[in-house]
Amino acid sequence: MPQAPTSGGKEIDVINGEMFIGSRSLSGTSGEARAVNPATGETLDPVYRGATRAELDEACRLAWEAFDPYRSLEPETRARFLETIAQNILDIGDALIERAMAETGLPRARLEGERGRTVGQLRLFAQVVRDGRYLDLRIDPAMPERQPLPRPDLRLRKIPLGPVAVFGASNFPLAFSVAGGDTASALAAGCPVVVKAHSAHLGTSELVGRAVQAAVRTSGLPEGVFSLLFDTGRDIGQGLVADPRIKAVGFTGSRGGGTALMKIAQARPEPIPVYAEMSSINPVILFPGALAERGEKIAHGFITSLLMGAGQFCTSPGLILAIESDKLDEFIAGAGNALQSASAATMLTPGIHQAYEAGVEALRSHTAVQTIARGQAGQGYQGVPGLFSTTAEAFLADRKLAEEVFGSASLVVRCRDEAELASVLDSLEGQLTAALHITEADHEDARKLIPVLERKVGRILVNGFGTGVEVAHAMVHGGPYPSTADGRSTSVGTMAIDRFLRPVCYQDMPEALLPPELRDSSPYDRLLDGKTVLGA
């Protein structure tokens, strides 16, 4: 009989209904919750109970006590810790994928891919830690002879903010959850993490939490580097953001949830940043040349992107913009025909399904909106895809038409001319992505809109769709409010680490007291008197 994967003598593939406060594994005592299989409606064992305020206090206390020792570790130790988490997640094996399938209704291939992304993020941030460029080292040597005043010796590095609260996301049970991008980048920065698990992924969260806790143990780190809490209401999540030992928050979810946490964070005696990813409809702009040359192909790609994951991606194409033409009519007809044969798909939670149905009904019943097509009827918590159309005039007159419908629903906005299309774009709130479908003949028209898009979105892409976010150095997965709480940040890619760092300057500090990375013998790249100097 195969042995269960272990780390440090403890199994990491068991589900006992436990949360983790530092090195302790324990069952909560506040309320009861069970995960639900959205594909069948089946309630899953075991029962989970939420943390108490005392347990929240303990997790935050341990995180604060771990902060200075953890951030002072050799970079190699922190990098190996991240790699150990990644390997532990892989070592859980099928148990993790099967539990995530049961809790989300997502297919095996999607979740195996998401596991790969989760592991890849952790390993990428291990490289970032080793590389040291995230420290943004800057040295301006003293100029004692400078006139009229001498210049002191100035040296700058970035240091971690402190313990970070991370909220698991509903639509990514692995890549944006317990050991997802927020956790990986915070740990890489040197910040202990307290995770509030999403209520839909209780067993999945426990499994990944065991993997992280085991990595803390085998790496010899302070136990408070990681804790995982469950909450059967909102008390623990809100209390976590309000706790004075928490210095930043990572959140992916609804606008209502994100803004509520932002208010709590700003009302503290010491306000803290909340990096919340919340709402985006991701406009897709179809230019005349592209529609004439390959309208059918674009329609196929659009429907494929719209249906992906039942539309439960923050980058799903929820808005199509184009100038009235026969080719636009052909595009709409082709997309509608493709959508009619699409099956209904299981949505992640009963609550998400209910919100999707309400959003679709609001479009369907709107007097200025035409229903182009609906997909095949579903059952239970399955969402039926929908494609709708309206005019730019109606869209501009009713801001509700610009609200996100989280799922496989999209609205085509017909514009009379370039000026009206530009007005629609200018009316939009901040977005994660915008896509331009163009040919060379469209370049001049596209060029006119790029300044508007740069103000509105975090990622502009050409001849594609926003679904599929590459984890890479140059990726931006963020945008102006309300797509994110802070448009200067990204939650994907190596720049995500910047959210959890702040600069500190050392003036005329003796060499022996300087942080090692700021000494003259530092092996890291730095900006020396305004010029880049490569490390050893």
Residues 408 and 520: their CA atoms lie apart, in Å, by: 56
Show the tokens assigned to 386: 């929908």
Beta bridge partners of 164: 193, 248
Count helices and strands in the chain by DSSP H and E runs: 14, 25
* Cα angle 362-365-370, degrees, rounded to a multiple of 5: 105
Residues 403 and 361: their CA atoms lie apart, in Å, by: 13
Q: Do 334 and 295 meet the contact criterion of CB atoms below 8 Å apart?
A: yes
Cβ contacts of 88 within 8 Å, gap of 6 or more? 5, 7, 12, 211, 212, 214, 215
- Total residues belonging to the chain: 536
Residues 343 and 310: their CA atoms lie apart, in Å, by: 10
For residue 3, the one-letter residue type is: Q
Residues 166 and 193: their CA atoms lie apart, in Å, by: 7
**170 three-class SS:** coil
CA atoms within 13 A of residue 471's CA, in its CB half-sphere: 24
Active-site positions read 277, 314
